[in-house]
Amino acid sequence: MPDDARRSIPSLDRLLQASEARSLLESYPRHLVVDALRATLAEARAGTNGGLALLSDEHLVAQANDRLGSQMRPSLRPVINATGVILHTNLGRAPLSRAARQAMEAVAAGYSNLEYDLEAGERGSRHEHLTPLLQRLTGAEASLIVNNNASAVLLALAALAEMREVIISRSQLVEIGGGFRIPDVLRQSGTHLVEVGTTNRTYIGDYASAITDETRLLLRVHASNFQITGFVHETSLLEMVELAGTRGLRVVDDLGSGSLLATERYGLAHEPMVQECIGDGADLVCFSGDKLLGGPQAGIIVGKAAAVATLRSHPLTRAFRPDKTTLATLHATLTHYERQEADREIPVWRMIAETVGALEVRAAAILRAAPFDWLTVLPTAATVGGGSLPGETLPSYGLAIAPPPQTVQEIAARFRAGDPPIVARIADDRVVLDLRTVAPEEDASVIAALRGLGAQPGGIGRVP
């Protein structure tokens, strides 16, 4: 920047006295305004904030205002999921039902009887709030809620088999998202891992021959994020329970996703249901609250009363216990199942149950509202995701954008920069907005984003 231009940059004191700065000082603490103006001036002197035309007091204060707005905006923000992945781990997995959100707000707004027995007028237990409901839904004798399924499995192993042996099939030594591996959980729980069978075939005889005086439980881990096909054999949970009963052992079933509905009713492969596993006699069944259940992040443990009681008395239970909002939200979510309204009220199941015809109608309506020549209606394939039903897809409809001269990466970035941000997927050199994961009430935001895309400088144009 030339010296004469640099000399025209106002001082910090002058900017603070400018009329344009008054609204900033009224909206933000003075020290934040000073820091923002100082940083803006530093950019101006370095010549990195847009050139000479933006060195006026008005523009400099406006830049400081933008800086403050960005600084104060929460990093965690709502987004529109247009990827077609229903349980998108990076986007927060299961969205909550309206009743679940209302239940969360109700207990968060004030005090609650989290650990208080209103009838007896004395201390109660947070672990009892969901037990009756889970008993009715799953047939289990008892339950325990912790903060996620990983902690549920860790707690079960630590409480039932610390310093002793846990037998597991080699085909179930899985890794899920974020590098979380079952062998690592076994080690952290203080148990000793005993692998049996082979990668593709494990028989009940493999478990039986591995049992020693040090064995305490048999562990089954549902392969929820991959498939082994071809020449395979998997020992059933019922076989494991029968063997454990003859040897005085327990069976823990890490079900992962934990569906309470029959997935085949919606054109998907059968996912083991919690009720089925309890019916087969597992001592404990562990599953997630924010996957196919459609609720908040939680680890849900159901099973036999004696096994659950052992877990409740373990020191780790306090470290893993859920807060009042999780329990309230989970209760509201489970109530949808008891009322047999899950596929109408729980967003995850509503998305799964949505018909292809309804999605096509919505896509056509969006195209009529944003009739661009670079926008087309497209049949797509959505997935459940979130470590559930690997390889399974749901027919869907969406909108495809293949605009010159911008790249698909640039267009996707524009969607993410919007308010609200829209996260799309890129396939076949097109940006795809899959409507199966976009709520109908979000269609207006999608239309606005598409119109804005065509109206921006360098936009890709409306059909004449």
Domain assignments of the chain as residue spans, ordered by start:
3-72, 80-88+349-455, 96-345
Once rounded to an integer, what is the mean pLDDT over residues 225-253? 88
Question: Which tokens is 436 given?
Answer: 């199966």
Question: pLDDT-derived band of residue 361, with 50, 70 and 90 as boundaries?
Answer: very high
pLDDT, position 244: 97
Three-state DSSP class for 253?
strand
For residue 49, pLDDT over 70 is answered with no
Nearest to 182 by CA among 147, 212, 224: 224
Which secondary-structure segment (H or E) carries 214? none
Nearest to 303 by CA among 168, 156, 129, 159: 156
For residue 260, pLDDT over 90 is answered with yes
Q: How far is CA 272 from CA 262, 276, 289, in A?
A: 8, 7, 15
- For residues 408 and 431, the answer to whether their CB atoms sit within 8 Å is yes
For residue 459, pLDDT over 60 is answered with no
pLDDT top residue among 406 and 246: 246
- Is the bond preceding residue 390 a cis peptide, omega within 30 degrees? no
pLDDT, position 411: 94
pLDDT top residue among 281 and 188: 281
- For residues 6 and 41, the answer to whether their CB atoms sit within 8 Å is no
Question: Which tokens is 202 given?
Answer: 């494990």
For residue 1, pLDDT over 50 is answered with no
**Residue the block writes with tokens 């404990």:** 284
For residue 391, pLDDT over 80 is answered with no
Q: How far apart are the first and last CA of the chain?
A: 44
254 forms beta bridges with: 221, 286
For residue 241, pLDDT over 70 is answered with yes
Which secondary-structure segment (H or E) carries 3? helix 3-7
Question: Which tokens is 300 given?
Answer: 């849900």
Once rounded to an integer, what is the mean pLDDT over residues 412-435? 95
pLDDT, position 339: 98
Question: pLDDT-derived band of residue 376, with 50, 70 and 90 as boundaries?
Answer: very high
- For residues 332 and 424, the answer to whether their CB atoms sit within 8 Å is no
Round the average pLDDT of the chain to a whole number and report it. 91
For residue 185, pLDDT over 80 is answered with no
Question: pLDDT-derived band of residue 442, with 50, 70 and 90 as boundaries?
Answer: very high
For residue 317, pLDDT over 60 is answered with yes
**Residue the block writes with tokens 């996707």:** 412
pLDDT, position 54: 54
- For residues 263 and 271, the answer to whether their CB atoms sit within 8 Å is yes
Question: Which tokens is 155 given?
Answer: 């707690």
Question: pLDDT-derived band of residue 419, with 50, 70 and 90 as boundaries?
Answer: very high
- For residues 139 and 275, the answer to whether their CB atoms sit within 8 Å is yes
For residue 18, pLDDT over 80 is answered with yes
pLDDT top residue among 99 and 174: 99
pLDDT top residue among 191 and 403: 191
pLDDT > 70: what percent of the chain? 92
For residue 16, pLDDT over 80 is answered with yes
pLDDT, position 307: 98
Question: pLDDT-derived band of residue 45, with 50, 70 and 90 as boundaries?
Answer: confident
pLDDT > 90: what percent of the chain? 73
CATH architecture entry for 80-88+349-455: Alpha-Beta Complex (3.90)
Once rounded to an integer, what is the mean pLDDT over residues 112-126? 96
The tens digit of pLDDT for each residue in 330-358 reads 999 999 999 999 999 999 999 999 999 99
pLDDT, position 463: 40
The residues, any chain, with a CB within 8 Å of residue 171's CB and separated by 6 or more, are 197, 198, 199, 200, 202, 223, 228, 232, 234
pLDDT, position 225: 60
Strands 425-427 and 165-169: unpaired
Write down the pTM of the prediction: 0.90
- For residues 160 and 307, the answer to whether their CB atoms sit within 8 Å is yes
**Long-range contacts of residues 37-42, Cβ cutoff 8 Å, at least 24 apart:** 37/12, 37/61, 37/64, 38/12, 39/64, 39/67, 40/64, 40/67, 41/9, 41/10, 41/12, 41/15
Q: Any idea which of 51-55, 73-77, 122-126, 288-292 has the lowest mean pLDDT? A: 51-55
- For residues 382 and 85, the answer to whether their CB atoms sit within 8 Å is yes
For residue 428, pLDDT over 70 is answered with yes
pLDDT, position 278: 98
- For residues 67 and 34, the answer to whether their CB atoms sit within 8 Å is no
| Cβ neighbours, 10 Å, residue 444 | 11
pLDDT, position 176: 66
Question: pLDDT-derived band of residue 415, with 50, 70 and 90 as boundaries?
Answer: very high
pLDDT, position 456: 63
pLDDT top residue among 43 and 299: 299
166 forms beta bridges with: 193, 217
Angle between the N-to-C axes of helices 324-338 and 98-108, in degrees from 0 to 180, rounded to the nearest 10? 150
pLDDT, position 457: 52
Three-state DSSP class for 449?
helix
Once rounded to an integer, what is the mean pLDDT over residues 101-126? 96
For residue 136, pLDDT over 90 is answered with yes
For residue 134, pLDDT over 90 is answered with yes
Question: Which tokens is 95 given?
Answer: 């969205």
Q: How far is CA 172 from the centre of its chain?
A: 23
Question: Over the range 127-161, which residues count as b (16 or more CB within 10 Å of their CB) and which as e?
Answer: bebbbebbeebbebbbbbbbbbbbbbbbbbbbbbb
**Long-range contacts of residues 408-416, Cβ cutoff 8 Å, at least 24 apart:** 411/453, 414/453, 414/456, 415/82, 415/449, 415/453
Q: How far apart are CA 130 and CA 147, in angstroms?
A: 14
Once rounded to an integer, what is the mean pLDDT over residues 125-147? 97
Angle between the N-to-C axes of helices 57-72 and 30-46, in degrees from 0 to 180, rounded to the nearest 10? 120
Class of 96-345 in CATH: alpha beta
Three-state DSSP class for 163?
coil
